[in-house]
């Protein structure tokens, strides 16, 4: 297959590691916008999800947010961010970093919020009662009991969010942002299949790497006590 040879040559070409279109630059742009979006989503969604789960109120909000988030197509999110970035922020033509960043946040929020809500809600009531009986206040119940027990599901929500965001950041190239999607969009436009294929490979590997990294972190961060319990079940 000559294509794979072309792709290998593309990766070996030192010209692709220099200037503004360098692989490492695109990778950094991709990671930066994704990381910032997930972090922003986390700051918004986690406190709300934990609060709703702790009090047990407004459960329908938590569930509906997730459903709406799932229904918004990623391309539509990017597209709708253009007029928003243009009108609200006065960004030139609504293009570049801002619309990409803005479009990614609503994709990061639903899985984090819903998982945090479901996880905290799912903590055994008896354990919480026992904690209250031992004199723990509301904040302590959340911190000492609910949070550690809910941690695996919360982290799974963050992983889903991160993988979705990294995937969708690829579309940022359509609104004149950089990132690894640049190679795919440009490769398509110029019909340069080596560039297209190389970009797609980089995006796919990045997404899989994020998934694997978060999975490893999840296993390491889960309290040993719960791990044993889960194994026993």
Instruction: Tell me which residues touch other proteins (CB under 8 A).
Output: 3, 70-80, 82-83, 86-87, 93-94, 163, 166-168, 170-171, 174-175, 181, 184-185, 187-188, 193, 196-197, 199-201, 203-204, 207-208, 211
49/121 Cα distance (integer angstroms): 10
Tokens of residue 187, six digits? 């490769």
Nearer residue to other proteins within complex by CB, 113 or 141: 113
The count of other CB atoms within 10 Å of the CB of residue 213 is 12
Judge contact between 177 and 151, C-beta under 8 A. no
Identify the CA nearest to 137 among candidates 146, 124, 149, 148: 146
CB of 77 to other proteins, least distance (A): 8
**Coil, strand, or helix at residue 203?**
helix
CB of 19 to other proteins, least distance (A): 22
CB of 147 to other proteins, least distance (A): 28
Query: Distances from the Cα of 109 to the Cαs of 24, 29, 69, in angstroms?
Result: 28, 21, 8
CB of 140 to other proteins, least distance (A): 36
Nearer residue to other proteins within complex by CB, 41 or 94: 94
Nearer residue to other proteins within complex by CB, 201 or 222: 201
Nearer residue to other proteins within complex by CB, 120 or 180: 180
């Amino acid at each position: 297959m000559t294509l794979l040879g072309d792709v290998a040559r593309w990766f070996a070409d030192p010209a692709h590691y220099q200037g503004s279109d360098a692989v490492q630059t695109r990778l950094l742009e991709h990671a930066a916008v994704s990381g910032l979006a997930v972090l922003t989503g986390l700051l918004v969604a986690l406190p709300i999800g934990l609060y709703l789960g702790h009090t047990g109120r407004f459960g329908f909000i938590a569930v509906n947010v997730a459903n709406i988030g799932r229904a918004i197509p990623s391309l539509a999110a990017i597209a709708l961010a253009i007029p928003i970035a243009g009108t609200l922020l006065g960004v030139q033509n609504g293009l570049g970093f801002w619309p990409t960043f803005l479009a990614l946040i609503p994709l990061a929020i639903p899985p984090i919020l819903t998982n945090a809500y479901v996880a905290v809600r799912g903590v055994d009531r008896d354990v919480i009662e026992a904690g209250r009986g031992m004199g723990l206040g509301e904040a302590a119940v959340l911190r000492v009991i609910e949070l550690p027990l809910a941690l695996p599901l919360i982290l799974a929500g963050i992983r889903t969010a991160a993988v979705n965001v990294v995937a969708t950041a690829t579309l940022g190239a359509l609104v004149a942002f950089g990132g690894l999607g640049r190679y795919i969009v440009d490769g398509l436009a110029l019909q340069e299949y080596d560039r297209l294929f190389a970009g797609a490979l980089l995006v796919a590997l990045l997404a899989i790497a994020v998934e694997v990294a978060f999975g490893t972190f999840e296993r390491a961060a889960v309290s040993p006590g719960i791990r044993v319990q889960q194994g026993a079940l």
